Structure 1
Amino acid sequence: MTTIALQVNRRAVELPAEPRTSLADFVRDKLDLTGTHLGCEHGVCGACTVLLDGVPARSCITYAAACEGADVTTIEGLDEDEITAELRAAFTREHALQCGYCTPGMLVSARDLVLRLPDSDERQIRIGLSGNLCRCTGYVGIVRAVQSVIEARRARNVAPVADGGRTVLGPVGSGRAATARNELRPARHAPAPAPESATPSSIPDFTPATMLDQRFTLPYPPAKVFAMFEDIAGVAACLPGVSLSSTPKPERVEGSIRVRLGPIGASFEGAARVERDPATLSGRIVGIGTDQRSHSATQGEIRYRLLPLEGGAATAVELSIGYTLTGMLAQVGRPGLVRDLAKRLVAEFAANLDRHMSGASSGQAAPAELSFWSIASDVLRARLAQIFRRAFGRGGAE
Structure 2
Amino acid sequence: MTPVSLTVNGTGTTASVEPRTALADFVREGLNLTGTHLGCEHGVCGACTVLVDGVPARSCITPTVACDGAEVTTIEGLDNDEIATELRAAFTREHALQCGYCTPGMLISARDLVVRLDRACEQSIRVGMSGNLCRCTGYVGIVRAIHTVIADRRARGIPAQPGAGRTALGPAGAHLSAAPAGAGEVRITKAVAATPSGPPHRAADPAGDEADFSPAAHFVQTFTVAFAPDEVFAVLGDVAAVAACLPGAALTAPPTPERIEGEMRVKIGPIAAAFRGTARISRDPATRSGRIVGGGLDARGRSSARGAIEYRVLPGPDPDSSRVEIEVGYTLSGVLAQFGRPGLVRDLAARLTADFAANLERKLSGSAPIPAATELSATRLLLQLIRARFRALFGGGGDA
TM-score (norm 1): 0.52
What does 1:193-272 correspond to in 2, within 5 Å? 193-194=190-191, 196-201=200-205, 202-205=208-211, 206-272=213-279
Give how far 1:386 is off.
Answer: 5.5
Supply the distance in 2 between the matched residues of 1:245 and 1:57 (Cα, whole angstroms): 43
Query: Which residue number in structure 2 is paired with residue 69 of structure 1?
Result: 69
Give yes or no for contact 1:10–1:71 (8 Å, CA) kept in 2. Answer: no
Answering whether residue 292 of structure 2 is matched by residue 292 of structure 1, we say no
Give yes or no for contact 2:267–2:378 (8 Å, CA) kept in 1. Answer: yes
Answering whether residue 330 of structure 2 is matched by residue 323 of structure 1, we say yes
Larger Rg: 1
CA pair 356-328 structure 1, distance change in 2 beyond 3 A: same
Supply the distance in 2 between the matched residues of 1:293 and 1:57 (Cα, whole angstroms): 28
Give how far 1:313 is off.
Answer: 1.2
Answering whether residue 317 of structure 2 is matched by residue 313 of structure 1, we say no
Query: Which residue number in structure 1 is paired with residue 102 of structure 2?
Result: none
Supply the distance in 2 between the matched residues of 1:71 and 1:233 (Cα, whole angstroms): 45
Supply the distance in 2 between the matched residues of 1:331 and 1:315 (Cα, whole angstroms): 35
Supply the distance in 1 between the matched residues of 2:26 and 2:63 (Cα, whole angstroms): 21
> Which sections of structure 2, spanning at least 5 residues, go unmatched?
7-16, 42-47, 51-58, 73-172, 181-186, 193-199, 396-400
Supply the distance in 1 between the matched residues of 2:179 and 2:218 (Cα, whole angstroms): 34
Supply the distance in 2 between the matched residues of 1:303 and 1:309 (Cα, whole angstroms): 18
CA pair 54-310 structure 1, distance change in 2 beyond 3 A: closer
Supply the distance in 2 between the matched residues of 1:381 and 1:356 (Cα, whole angstroms): 25
Answering whether residue 376 of structure 2 is matched by residue 368 of structure 1, we say yes
Instruction: Output one character per residue of 1:241-295: Cα deviation in whole Å (capped at 9) or x when no partner.
Output: 1111111012220110111123321111111111111121111111210111100
More deviation in 333-342 or 204-213? 333-342
Give yes or no for contact 1:296–1:326 (8 Å, CA) kept in 2. Answer: yes
What does 1:20-31 correspond to in 2, within 5 Å? 31=19
What does 1:32-51 correspond to in 2, within 5 Å? 33=20, 36=21, 50-51=29-30
Of the three residues 350, 353, 360, the one matched with 2:357 is 350
Supply the distance in 1 between the matched residues of 2:352 and 2:179 (Cα, whole angstroms): 42
3-state secondary structure, aligned to 1:237? helix
Supply the distance in 2 between the matched residues of 1:359 and 1:385 (Cα, whole angstroms): 31
CA pair 68-317 structure 1, distance change in 2 beyond 3 A: same
Supply the distance in 2 between the matched residues of 1:57 and 1:293 (Cα, whole angstroms): 28
Give how far 1:234 is off.
Answer: 1.2
Give yes or no for contact 1:271–1:287 (8 Å, CA) kept in 2. Answer: yes
Supply the distance in 2 between the matched residues of 1:246 and 1:280 (Cα, whole angstroms): 29
3-state secondary structure, aligned to 2:329? strand
CA pair 290-57 structure 1, distance change in 2 beyond 3 A: closer
3-state secondary structure, aligned to 1:320? strand
Give aligned pairs, total.
Answer: 245
CA pair 319-9 structure 1, distance change in 2 beyond 3 A: closer
Supply the distance in 2 between the matched residues of 1:299 and 1:54 (Cα, whole angstroms): 34
Query: Which residue number in structure 1 is paired with residue 346 of structure 2?
Result: 339
> Which sections of structure 1, spanning at least 5 residues, go unmatched?
1-7, 14-26, 73-180, 389-398
Give how far 1:378 is off.
Answer: 4.1
CA pair 380-310 structure 1, distance change in 2 beyond 3 A: closer
CA pair 384-316 structure 1, distance change in 2 beyond 3 A: closer
CA pair 9-310 structure 1, distance change in 2 beyond 3 A: closer
What does 1:272-283 correspond to in 2, within 5 Å? 272-283=279-290
